[in-house]
Amino acid sequence: MRGTIAERMRRSLHETAQLSFHAESEATRLIEVRRHAKAAGKSIGVEDIIISVLCITLKSFPRFNATIDGNVARISTSAHVSVAIGLPNGLVAPTIFDADTLTIEDIAARRSDLIARARNGQLNVREMSGGTITISNLGATAVRFFTPILNTPQVAILGIAQIASRPWIDSLDQVCVRPVLGLSLTVDHRFIDGEPAGAFLSKLVHELENVQVVGTS
């Protein structure tokens, strides 16, 4: 399994033009939404909320929700979000299909199911190959940013780093301490240029900082 993963990563780096971008998001609202869900008895994680917000962002940036086959890029009309799952002997990235049509609660349920079946070796071929964008979460570590490698043939992958208290300048230009989330985006530069990548991350940050209560799509 390690050999297969190594070969896929080598091929991904060799066959694409990968470029990474980094941004920070003030995470107060994100934490409040998760706390609200927990108080309501809903099992929802930060990653589930971010997946939902990612789907909202993709509606404004459809080129990031695409795959490349040879020299042909295909933009998907649905967001099939692959989620990287670490296993004792490697890494898999099964897919939450049509995530853009799901509530945060539904996303959480499907992600939990994928994690359970990944650990039991019960994932099927379609789940392992049908994604249009990937999310990789290192939020449980001390990592602030990283450079995720594209899950080819997809053209974009979003990395989630830790949420930690850091100095922040608020809307009144006052220095304060806020929970801050690190985000890392890698794109295939053959299909996505730097300016739209920056705009995509900016839109994602805006949506995260204004995320709505659990129960909405």
pLDDT over 80 (residue 5): no
The pTM of the full predicted model, rounded to 2 decimals, is: 0.92
- Reported as a single tens digit per residue, the pLDDT across 151-164 is 999 999 999 999 99
Query: DSSP state, 214?
Result: B
Q: Which is the catalytic residue, given 22, 36, 98, 189?
A: 189
Active site (annotated) includes residue 189: yes
Q: Which is the catalytic residue, given 113, 170, 193, 206?
A: 193
pLDDT of 215: 46
Judged by DSSP in three states, 151 sits in coil
Fold of the domain spanning 2-209: Chloramphenicol Acetyltransferase (3.30.559)
Instruction: List the domain boundaries for the chain.
Output: 2-209
pLDDT of 14: 87
- Judge contact between 49 and 104, C-beta under 8 A: yes
- Alpha-carbon distance of 140 to 142, in angstroms, equals 7
pLDDT of 66: 97
pLDDT of 199: 98
Q: What mean pLDDT do residues 112-134 have?
A: 93
- Alpha-carbon distance of 202 to 194, in angstroms, equals 12
Active site (annotated) includes residue 48: no
- Judge contact between 100 and 129, C-beta under 8 A: no
pLDDT of 146: 97
How do beta strands 81-83 and 133-137 pair?
parallel
Residue 29 pLDDT class (50, 70, 90 cuts): very high
